[in-house]
Amino acid sequence: MDELEQFKRANFFPGLQVGPEYWNKIEDYHFGKEKLYNSLFHGYGVVPKFLDSLHVQAGKTKGGLVTFIVGRGLCFDGLGNPLFLYEPQVIVFDSKKYSYPCTIHIVIKYNEVLQEFFQNTENIDLQGYKYKLESAKVELVQEITEPDITVELARVRLEDPEGTGINEIANCDDFKNPGPNALDYRFVPWAVRTERGVSMYLQRLMIDLFEYTCSVAKSCNELFPLSSLKSMYTVAMTSKMIIQTAGVFFDDVIHLLRPLFDVDHDVIFELADYEREHENEDYNFTTKEDYENARNAMYVLGDLLKKYSNKYEEIDLILGEHKKIIDGLKNTIIEKEVSSNDIQFISYKMPRVLLFEEEKYTLVDTINMASQESIEAHRLTFINTKHPSTVKDAFYYPDGTLVYDTIKRWVGGGMKFHLKNIVKGRKTLIIRRTDIYQGNYSVTVTLQGKNTYTMNVDGLDTKNRWRNIYLKINEGEISEYTPEVIFDIGEKGRDNSATVWVYQLL
């Protein structure tokens, strides 16, 4: 819209004398505002889900004439005019008018019809029509020459290779490829239909729940790489993005929630399958109360979706049941309590959240000995050592799991590095994967150049060589954001350090 019309409302005052022109300008003012609103907020095209949505169907009369039947509905042209079709309209197709091959368009245009003529037999200057009916007319054209005031409802590619004439037009069976002599809806424009919105409170609730779902699904998948957990993460992340970027109408909320039930269902049963397939590893998910609570909530959620009737109260119940499922999964998988003895035997990927001695820890830092970037970022160096080396190897944990890792080996002295992403003063766990081929020794750990701890490498195992050795640093002892740590084994000792994980209390 290149120019904006100046809108002037009528202003009445005592003694104002008005005639038909003045009153008609008042009507034009309101109609002009309506057209501007239509252009800005509804756009151009057919209004969906209103009456018959101006849907076009092909048919034949009893006499065999080919016809196009345009259903009732409403659309807006490029000027914002509302094009109402109050009753179905029929257009007769005359095949003799066209040279083949060609394309014809079924179009609609705005049309005002004057109605209810008032006749004044005494004074013909004081008579006229009482109303202007806002209507529309449908036409068949070969070319749309006035796109601003014309809306296409369908088109047909006409072909007559045999030269016998076109005696039938087919209705559309394939939207993507309707073919010749069949109705084609691919180029019909659609306007935006205003629907019931979603409050910012419900949006925030859903965004928070989807974020929570993503977090739990990701953490669970790190422990147990199930395809359903990846799907849960993807579905929740996509739903969150849709709400934050495109927004949703209330009627569309249910379409974001139905896929959650599918992934909830898949996770619950895939976890049970995983337990059966690894029965020797003593997971026992399905015997836990939290798992049972999650499974029961999943069935309740399914029933709620089946009975859903587009009410706010039902949305609230559905979101509540999904949260119960995620809580149950979190408590079943992520918050598995790990004892001081269990830590050394964890052969799977270290979880994001660790429940240790009834306290929750979150993974804040990892030192990967295979990554030069990680080594440089943590400023890892050796102090007074002999024969430092780096080797990639694969050893077994006592549970029979073969794990590949890169090991730093050295004789005498120590390995110095700095921790990252640390919150000062928080209780901290430093866990180190260690080769205990030559075990039964201790490592002196110095923190920030002053606090000293002992990390015991107990046992000697030449067959199952991996163990996770840990050190707990108490609350208030870390006073720097990037504290220095030294693993020292004395003048003649030997040490083997693979990946280092750092957890802090949540």
- Residue 60: predicted pLDDT: 85
CB 206 within 8 A of CB 323: no
Positions in the chain whose pLDDT score sits under 50:
none
Query: pLDDT tens digits, residue range 72-97?
Result: 999 999 888 999 999 999 999 888 88
Q: Which residues contact 345 (CB under 8 A, 6 or more apart)?
A: 397, 398, 399, 467, 468
pLDDT value of residue 380: 95
pLDDT of residue 1: 54
Q: List, in sequence order, every beta strand (DSSP E) within 170-261.
A: 183-184
**Are the C-beta atoms of residues 334 and 351 closer than 8 Å to each other?**
yes
Residue 189 main-chain phi, psi, to 5 deg: -80, 150
Quote the pLDDT of residue 337. 67
Separation of alpha carbons 166 and 173, rounded Å: 19
CB-based contacts of 183-188 (< 8 A; 24+ apart in sequence): 183/56, 183/57, 183/58, 183/154, 183/155, 183/156, 184/154, 184/155, 184/156, 184/157, 185/56, 185/154, 187/152, 187/155, 188/45, 188/46, 188/152, 188/153, 188/154
How far apart are alpha carbons 288 and 328 in whole angstroms?
10
> What is the rounded CA–CA span in Å between residue 55 and residue 71?
5
**What pLDDT does residue 123 have?**
87
Q: What is the DSSP secondary-structure string of 124-157?
A: GGG-EEEEEEEEEEEEEESS---TTTEEEEEEEE
Q: How many CB atoms lie under 10 A from the CB of residue 58? A: 20
